[in-house]
Structure 1
Amino acid sequence: MGSLWEDLESLVEAPSSFTAKAGERGTVKAKVAFNADEDAKALRKAMKGLGTDEKTLTDILAHRSSAQRQLICAAYQKATSRMLLKDLKDETSGDFKDLLVALVTPPAEYDCHEVMRAIKGVGTEGDVLVEIFSSRSNQEIKALTEAFLKETQKQLTTELEKKVSGDFSKALLLLAQGNREQDTSADVEKAREDAKTLYSAGEKKWGTDEAKFIEILCRKSIPQIRQTLVEYKNISGKTLQQSIEAEMSGNLRNLLVAVVKCVKSQPAYFAECLHNSMKGGGTHESTLTRIMVTRSEIDLLDIRAEFKKLYNHSLQSALQSEVSGDYGDCLKAICGGDD
């Protein structure tokens, strides 16, 4: 597994999902001859009366873009005076219900709900926060923040601050501002300086100066960090990821490693997250649902390709053996085929 994250040769020139245009590398595309009224009618029929026709729900909702699903919700309400979201919640259950709810929720609101769920109650689900804030673009974070304010009348950063502490909190709050620098090319000289700064703040000294790592990794642009990773390896002989893993612990380590992985390759990062959510004894369905839905229109084709490269079997075949029933069928529909 290490080898993937240690290959820096082609890194600086590689495309990044942070800048991918929605729809280009997704598995879910807008349906061409789309009719929201017909879809709404078919969905109502699938849930009316005794028993639910789950196959129709999947056939429609897994094969429409997020924007089209919003039009279906509006058509459904107009035709029936009912809320599609509420009917789906009433007529389905378990993981399948959660998946359908995710599909009909606009992306920013869905991210917002996942963050709210992660910080609710005692103990915070650090891994959810790590995954979302390390992988979202400035625009996506701004949209999440607006959705959060609209739903809770509270500022996202203020609420996060109450729930997380220490250096993890500092890094998370920087990312949650959605102010990552946006340069499209790297300044090699600066990258070399930053690499030296990181080397001096970590490997070279007794104890680690986390603030330097946070400042550079959570603020600099993607091309700039990529160049810094290359320079760091030249200076220290190790990858920055190896240094972070050796020098830090807990949520901060997880977050900074995730940032570095996303900077290198979001599709590879998500392929690894998907694999981890299915390996071992039991499946982490909420992670599986979140990644499959949120990446379905962005880069799921690339995630599938990386998954195959990393694990020598396709994402589709992993889903085939790990998830079953209506939930499994719907996930496989979103996955969109074998590799």
Structure 2
Amino acid sequence: MGATAILTTTSDISLDNICKQIHDSLDRPNVLVQVLTSLSQLECREIREGYKRTYQDDLVRICTSTEPEVSFLSGLMLNPPERDADFARGALQGNESVDYKALIEIFTGRKSSHVMLMLEAYRFKCRRHLDMDIAAIEPSHPYQKMLMALSASHKAHNAEISQHIAKCDARRLYQTGEGRPGAIDEAVVLEILSKRSIPQIKLTLVTYNHIYGHSYTAFLKSRELGDFEDALRVVATCIYSPSKYYAQTLHRCLKGMTAHDRRDLIRIMVSRAEVDMDGIARIFKKKYGKELRNVICESVEEGNYRVFLAALASKASTC
């Protein structure tokens, strides 16, 4: 039976039957990929739980150990905070340098309630506190400073958004950056990042554009500044225009296809597939003239990994 026949909807075919089909196909990774990418992530998590009850084994463990060829499927079956905890652990414990951008994506692109659950999941998995692990890495590094500030913002901020605060903060950013010569005043930026919620910071960036006629990120990009300003531009882009950030990152990864690029592709495609993939795909097509799914098929060698990425890209309405 083909993968399409295996899965129509969970209401048409019982969860137990889907679990049995998966169990009978463990030696066929292509079937696992086709079946699980046909489901929503909520359905994938339901399948994982059903499989545990029936076969006393964990599909996440199977995919990451028994079937390492399809280890990327594990992200579909983890709840989002648990998945981000794994991404954070991988970002800090990679074979290369710390993957700061992966951590920035988590702290700028998730709700505070999600971040709190992610921190709990990280503590459970690693027996350590993520904040302490971040604090221990290169204390003078610009990304480390911003991550500490963003982490603080998720723990103590006013949930209400204020236009007055946005105007004041926009003027402060201008006066301590574009409005004066030299480097940006780091203390002002870090104070804003640590004391404001992500929605409040986004409103500040929108207000900056309205008051001064161009975006804060455009200012940061137009001048040759230091490492702190380069890192700030990434953070500001993630907050102000996340779909643009992800479209640009996906394009870069698809051009490179190194081991690091492959990890970035998995992280972004899994975490954004059911959030804003349609917006990412629209910007990708507008900026690069091709559908995201088509570029994946052109850039990634044939196999389960390509099928996986193409299926997630197809969740966008424009693909």
How far apart, in 1, do the equivalents of 2:12 and 2:281 lie?
A: 27
Q: Quickly say closer, same or farther: Cα 1:129–1:40, change in 2 above 3 A.
A: same
Contact 2:284 / 2:292 at 8 angstroms: preserved in 1? yes
Structure 2: where are the runs of 5+ without partners? Answer: 1-8
The secondary structure found in structure 2 opposite 1:279 is helix
TM-score (norm 2): 0.83
Alignment of 1:2-13 (within 5 A): none
Partner of 2:145: 170
Q: Quickly say closer, same or farther: Cα 1:235–1:59, change in 2 above 3 A.
A: closer
Once the two structures are TM-superposed, the CA of residue 87 in structure 1 deviates from its matched residue by 2.1
Letter in 2 for 1:259: V
Contact 1:31 / 1:65 at 8 angstroms: preserved in 2? no
Letter in 1 for 2:19: A
Partner of 1:211: 187
Match of 1:43 among 5, 22, 44: 22
Say whether residues 1:138 and 2:99 are aligned partners: no
Q: Quickly say closer, same or farther: Cα 1:135–1:227, change in 2 above 3 A.
A: closer
TM-score (norm 1): 0.79
Once the two structures are TM-superposed, the CA of residue 221 in structure 1 deviates from its matched residue by 4.2
Contact 2:19 / 2:47 at 8 angstroms: preserved in 1? yes
Once the two structures are TM-superposed, the CA of residue 136 in structure 1 deviates from its matched residue by 2.0
Partner of 1:202: 177
Match of 2:303 among 306, 325, 335: 325
Partner of 1:158: 132
Partner of 1:25: none
Match of 1:125 among 83, 99, 107: 99
Partner of 1:83: 58
The secondary structure found in structure 2 opposite 1:157 is helix
Q: Quickly say closer, same or farther: Cα 1:31–1:262, change in 2 above 3 A.
A: farther
Match of 1:191 among 166, 169, 173: 166
Match of 1:292 among 269, 282, 291: 269
Letter in 2 for 1:175: L
Once the two structures are TM-superposed, the CA of residue 234 in structure 1 deviates from its matched residue by 6.2
Q: Quickly say closer, same or farther: Cα 1:282–1:160, change in 2 above 3 A.
A: closer
Contact 2:220 / 2:230 at 8 angstroms: preserved in 1? no
Contact 1:31 / 1:63 at 8 angstroms: preserved in 2? no
Match of 1:335 among 304, 313, 319: 313
Contact 1:134 / 1:255 at 8 angstroms: preserved in 2? no
Once the two structures are TM-superposed, the CA of residue 65 in structure 1 deviates from its matched residue by 2.5
Q: Quickly say closer, same or farther: Cα 1:248–1:290, change in 2 above 3 A.
A: same
Question: Post-superposition, which runs of at least 4 consecutive aligned residues in structure 1 deviate over 6 A?
Answer: none
Say whether residues 1:102 and 2:75 are aligned partners: yes
Match of 2:235 among 251, 256, 259: 259
Match of 1:277 among 228, 245, 253: 253
How far apart, in 2, do the equivalents of 1:326 and 1:80 lie?
A: 25
Letter in 1 for 2:20: K
The secondary structure found in structure 1 opposite 2:136 is helix
How far apart, in 2, do the equivalents of 1:296 and 1:145 lie?
A: 22
How far apart, in 1, do the equivalents of 2:77 and 2:205 lie?
A: 39
Partner of 1:60: 35
Once the two structures are TM-superposed, the CA of residue 164 in structure 1 deviates from its matched residue by 3.5
The secondary structure found in structure 2 opposite 1:163 is coil
Match of 2:215 among 239, 248, 252: 239
Once the two structures are TM-superposed, the CA of residue 93 in structure 1 deviates from its matched residue by 3.1
Q: Quickly say closer, same or farther: Cα 1:182–1:270, change in 2 above 3 A.
A: farther
Letter in 2 for 1:145: L
How far apart, in 2, do the equivalents of 1:209 and 1:55 lie?
A: 53
Structure 1 range deviating more: 241-250 or 32-41: 241-250
For residues 22-43 of structure 1, the C-alpha deviation after alignment (integer angstroms, 9 at most, x for no partner) is xxxxxxxx85546321121111
Q: Quickly say closer, same or farther: Cα 1:301–1:35, change in 2 above 3 A.
A: farther
Structure 1: where are the runs of 5+ without partners? Answer: 1-29
Q: Quickly say closer, same or farther: Cα 1:64–1:202, change in 2 above 3 A.
A: same
How far apart, in 2, do the equivalents of 1:206 and 1:90 lie?
A: 52
Q: Quickly say closer, same or farther: Cα 1:153–1:201, change in 2 above 3 A.
A: same
The CA RMSD over aligned residues, in Å, is: 2.7
Once the two structures are TM-superposed, the CA of residue 280 in structure 1 deviates from its matched residue by 4.2
